[in-house]
Structure 1
């Protein structure tokens, strides 16, 4: 399956291959996207915040109340924001497009 990351500058894009069951944050980090994921998926931070393309947002399962609370703290959060550590990829999400927030540009997510 395919995931497209739109770079924080809005100009670049990275096409990534994933398999069902992968966590979106792991796929992003494997492709050197600047998402930190400081809490390692425990929903104790918002450093893995992404903005899901409007046309793809309704394909995702709803965010939990805990995720919504963390998104309230995310810089630049929008209606279609999600924590990438909480998005488990499925075949139904093939072709998902997510935008890396401009606030992520200065993070050191590359391994």
Structure 2
């Protein structure tokens, strides 16, 4: 069971044990992480689950696909490490992943 740390904008850390195959968004919503709105429910049809992948994890998580990149155009303060949390699936390889929630969503 991989570990996931979600850092809210105010610095609060949510340290979670999560199921492999679940998305960062699903875990954020399930644990009431503030700032992850997920209005489309994980369909990659909005940018309200936008997060920043911690720099130390960016390469391992990888880049967004074309559809996700298009949605990220709507994200607030997009950065090179921006991802939609609904598109980041947890695996054993991502054990220890750290993501940061932006100040606000799109």
- Structure-1-length-normalised TM-score: 0.87
Please name the residue that 2:98 is paired with: 97
* Gap regions ≥5 residues in structure 2: none
Distance apart, 1:74 and its partner CA: 0.1
Please name the residue that 2:68 is paired with: 67
Please name the residue that 1:6 is paired with: 7
Q: Distance in 1 between matches of 2:76 and 2:62?
A: 22
- Per the alignment, in what secondary structure is the counterpart of residue 73 of structure 1? coil
- Per the alignment, in what secondary structure is the counterpart of residue 50 of structure 1? strand
Q: Distance in 2 between matches of 1:36 and 1:14?
A: 16
Does residue 31 in structure 1 map to residue 46 in structure 2? no
- Per the alignment, in what secondary structure is the counterpart of residue 47 of structure 1? coil
Please name the residue that 2:86 is paired with: 85
Please name the residue that 1:107 is paired with: none
Distance apart, 1:61 and its partner CA: 3.5
- Structure-2-length-normalised TM-score: 0.91
Q: Distance in 2 between matches of 1:29 and 1:40?
A: 10
Distance apart, 1:62 and its partner CA: 2.7
Aligned CA-pair RMSD: 1.4
* Gap regions ≥5 residues in structure 1: 105-111
